[in-house]
Amino acid sequence: MNNKPSPNKNTSNRQFLMKYAGLGTQLLAAIGLAVFAGLKLDKWLNTLPLLACVLPLLVLSAIFYKLFRETGRKNQP
């Protein structure tokens, strides 16, 4: 019996990993940009804690929506 994974399965796992690693990177970058933009806007508008809290929450909700849509798709041949 051969317990080695097939090349197609290994490639499939790598694509799966890269797909979700990319989503995680997008999540971190978007939250970082939202916090930075929120702090700058708060300083400009003199509303110190408001936008620095609200913008990352909006970004999180948008990214989770995108994530649910992308992971909920059925693979079509």
What are the tens digits of pLDDT across the range 42-62?
A: 999 999 889 999 999 999 999
The per-residue pLDDT string of the chain (77 residues; one tens digit each, 9 = 90 and over) reads 556 655 566 778 888 888 888 888 988 999 999 999 999 999 999 998 899 999 999 999 998 898 888 778 766 55
**To the nearest 10°, the Cα dihedral for 55, 69, 12, 76?**
-160
Return the SS3 of 49. Answer: helix
Tokens, residue 39: 């702090």
- State the Cα torsion 45-50-53-56 to the nearest 10°: -40
Q: How far apart are CA 41 and CA 2, in angstroms?
A: 60
Domain ranges for the chain: 25-71
